Structure 1
Amino acid sequence: MNKKEEKAREYADGLMNSVKSYYVEKYGMERAKRMSDFDIYYVEQAYLDGWDAMLGGLLTNVKERQPDPNEEVVCRMVSNGAFVSGYIYQEDGKYKVATSPDFHFEDYGDYECDYWFPKPKLIEVNHG
């Protein structure tokens, strides 16, 4: 089971436990017992489908559109699927990522990327 599937199971278990608690409180134990692994499976699938749809909507294929050369973005590496921040450039017909000099990252796939999205801006919150 990969990390995404583990998170889906964790989410489904938590949601189903909440629903069962509600059913026990509202309708009694007999109705709550009728909830099955089948129900949990569908909650997991909805989580996984939502995860994939969110990523699909967030990611831009580098062959379709590239960011501004001076824009630091988050890139998905072809070699291992890791996400790193850097600057996309084209070399020998491939889109590659140049990372900041102080960022240590070994990529044996020659720093080639296939998808990217804008680097999120962190908002400072004043708590006082």
Structure 2
Amino acid sequence: MSRFCNMRQSARRRLHALMRSSHRAWYGGSMATTRRPIGPTTRHVAASVRQLRSEFGMSTTTLAGRLEALGHPISQSGVTRLETGQRQITVDDLTALAAVLGVVPSALLPRTPAPEDPAANEGD
């Protein structure tokens, strides 16, 4: 019986080694993922959320609770990380935050200048 158990353990080790090597091949070497740096749009949205939340006298805990009630849970620490630019903001996060704060999602985004009308330059 002992010999049979040793064979099973050996087979299990080989299987795990195979799984690790195929994972490395598929994901490019290591299991660690790289993070994208926080960009200016994310920083602007974070500042907008923090400002609106403060204006409404809402705590990060309250905001987190309202997000959870809406069906888009972000923990209190997640809200804090979001507001301090330590967490990426997804489109789903943006729409949920806007709904909880009572604004349209575009109100949280930076204003960009309107693109020039190419037809306006035809006379030049």
Whether these two folds match at TM > 0.5 is no
Q: Which has the higher helix share?
A: 2
Per the normalisation by structure 1, the TM-score is: 0.26
Higher RCO structure (Cα 8 Å, ≥6 apart) = 2
Q: Which has the higher strand share?
A: 1
Per the normalisation by structure 2, the TM-score is: 0.26
